[in-house]
Amino acid sequence: MSTKTVIESGKAVLGIEFGSTRIKAVLIDENHTPIASGSHEWENQLVDGIWTYSIDMIWNGLQDSYQDMLKDVKEKYGVTVTKLAAIGFSAMMHGYMVFGADDEILVPFRTWRNSITEEASEKLTALFNYNIPQRWSIAHLYQAILNGEEHVKDICFQTTLAGYIHWKLTGKKVLGVGEASGMFPIDIATGKFDEKMVKQFDDAIADKNFGWKLSDIFPEVLTAGENAGTLTEEGAKLLDVSGALEAGAPLCPPEGDAGTGMVATNSVARRTGNVSAGTSVFSMVVLEKELSKVYPELDLVTTPSGDLVAMVHCNNCTSDLNAWVNIFKEFAESFGMEVDMNKLFGTLYNKAMEGDADGGNLLAYNYISGENITGMEEGRPLFVRTPNSKFNLANFMRVNLYTSLGALKIGMDLLLKEEKVQIDKLLGHGGLFKTKGVGQQILADAMNTPISVMETAGEGGAWGIAVLAAYMINTQGESLGDYLNAKVFAGQEGSELAPNPQGVKGFDDFIQIYKAGLPIERAAVDSMK
């Protein structure tokens, strides 16, 4: 069947993801191949000290990205989209969206970026004996209660950005389990919000007499493959302002960007994981069992199928490395040379592989912003050496590559060394891996685990949620992991690099210097304002 026929017969599947700077719409065919896409750029706003996106921005962005995708379809295939086989929405996780009896938002959307819930985070972590990060929705709710905010008594519904979009297009107050796991802890046995912790929360706020309990205001939790409602007439008009789109398409459970990233990298099975390394770096490892204790450095979320995932999230990765590469660019341009940035990155990254395995006793911190893993509330990028350190270009670049994974290494060591978690496959994606064989090898050495890099569809999370929507209508009862292996990624092996024993020891030696030097970073934060 031609692509044009797939679209005309309503067999194409749509995925839309709301990222923090871009909303992306991707249309896929029956083979899960992207056939058209559209996007809309947007940026959060700081309003009254709160990072937010307005309701108008959300709808304008959704509609614009969809229209941009329609334009792409028209240009490529000369047809109009009138029917879809399935739809899925995903978005950045966490944050705070609460609605009153009239279904209107009570306070502006508070995104995951807001670090205003420290008190709530600490108290809930102690109450549940379960790590509740500041960005989680329940931390935002509890902080609003602790602050005595007037609107709390009027809450009728709390959800996330993905849940909000889905609700308005289907009328269904539901969330995919992966997204829900960033609102409130999930009971892995049931795939629903943990009832014991729900009761603990309700008991803790009983004296407030709000007139609601958590189960009254939270969405229903669904797992991948379940039908999460259909596109209503009103929803179709909200999505497609041209009015061409028909109602009735089924929707999969709305998911978070972590879950769609796992799908897009084929890392939803147990003992697998992925590392996303760009401006920030985070790892997701699918666990076989609960961890033995609470670690503030490890967030526990789930896959879209409800399997437990340990997440290590670090604020800093390549920004300082990129800043140093730009210095070399300026140097070359000062001599009148034209600089190809891809060649410059490739040359410097490959130079790093000539350096000493331990980085020559050099030390760097790439903290452009604060780093929660090491307890730094602000960032001070630093480069430190002793008079006897082996200071040359190869070691300089090697250490800057090492430090981009330093905080991640500390978090992952808790999993791999303290908890003895077994990983069969770890997949790397993002800008750090662009130069073939360098970032990939350094990550393999840092984690002491083979790292694969795949040439997958470059549409990321939007493609991932489209695949989840396709899974919902096509599954024959097989698990999501089996479906991805057999139907989506079959034949895509990617390239794998094993850890180099010398590199493993070298990175371990570096991380000892890195940990020992943290008081230097602390002094820089305190002294240099």
pLDDT in tens, 180-238: 999 999 999 999 999 999 999 999 999 999 999 999 999 999 999 999 999 999 999 99
pLDDT confidence of residue 115: 82
Same domain, 247 and 312: no
Residue-wise pLDDT tens digits, 42-74: 999 999 989 999 999 999 999 999 999 999 999
CATH code at 441? 3.30.420.40
Examine the pLDDT at 529 and tell me if it is beyond 90.
Answer: no
Assigned domain for 492 exists: no
pLDDT confidence of residue 113: 84
Number of domains present in the structure of the chain: 2
Binned at pLDDT 50, 70 and 90, residue 457 comes out as: very low
Same domain, 40 and 149: yes
State how far the Cα of 269 lies from the Cα of 338, in Å rounded to an integer. 46
Binned at pLDDT 50, 70 and 90, residue 434 comes out as: confident
State how far the Cα of 178 lies from the Cα of 302, in Å rounded to an integer. 5
Assigned domain for 491 exists: no
- DSSP code per residue over 100-130: -TTS-BSS--B-TT----HHHHHHHHHHHTS
- Give the residue from 188, 222, 256 where a domain finishes: 256
Same domain, 297 and 446: yes
Of residues 252 and 282, more confidence is placed in 252
Find the domain containing 86 and state its range.
3-256
Per-residue pLDDT, averaged over 80-109, amounts to 97
Examine the pLDDT at 494 and tell me if it is beyond 90.
Answer: no
Residue-wise pLDDT tens digits, 326-347: 999 999 999 999 999 999 999 9
pLDDT confidence of residue 431: 83
Residue-wise pLDDT tens digits, 106-162: 999 999 888 899 999 999 999 999 999 999 999 999 999 999 999 999 999 999 999
Assigned domain for 117 exists: yes
pLDDT confidence of residue 1: 83
Assigned domain for 459 exists: no
Assigned domain for 478 exists: no
Assigned domain for 79 exists: yes
What percent of the chain clears pLDDT 90, i.e. is strictly above it? 88
Residues 6+ apart with CB under 8 A from 148: none
Of residues 465 and 20, more confidence is placed in 465
pLDDT confidence of residue 455: 66
Examine the pLDDT at 458 and tell me if it is beyond 80.
Answer: no
What percent of the chain clears pLDDT 70, i.e. is strictly above it? 99
Q: How far is CA 358 from the centre of its chain?
A: 31
Same domain, 440 and 396: yes
pLDDT confidence of residue 54: 97
State how far the Cα of 510 lies from the Cα of 154, in Å rounded to an integer. 53
Cα-Cα-Cα-Cα dihedral of 124, 129, 134, 140, to 10°?
-30
Assigned domain for 299 exists: yes
Same domain, 147 and 46: yes
Same domain, 28 and 89: yes
- Give the residue from 256, 276, 298 where a domain finishes: 256
Helix (H) or strand (E) holding 87: strand 86-91
* Average pLDDT of every residue of the chain: 95
- DSSP code per residue over 192-258: EE-HHHHHHHHHHTGGG--S--HHHHSPEEE-TTS---B--HHHHHHH-TTS-PPS--BBPPPEEHH
Alpha helices in 353-459 (DSSP H): 393-403, 406-413, 439-447
Same domain, 166 and 60: yes
Same domain, 167 and 279: no
Binned at pLDDT 50, 70 and 90, residue 94 comes out as: very high
Binned at pLDDT 50, 70 and 90, residue 278 comes out as: confident
Residue 415 near residue 299, CB atoms below 8 Å: no
- Give the residue from 256, 276, 292 where a domain finishes: 256
Same domain, 209 and 281: no
Same domain, 331 and 200: no
Sign of the alpha-carbon dihedral angle for 34, 273, 403, 523: positive
Same domain, 317 and 426: yes
State how far the Cα of 521 lies from the Cα of 527, in Å rounded to an integer. 10
Assigned domain for 311 exists: yes
Residue-wise pLDDT tens digits, 418-432: 999 999 889 988 888
pLDDT confidence of residue 372: 83
Same domain, 214 and 65: yes
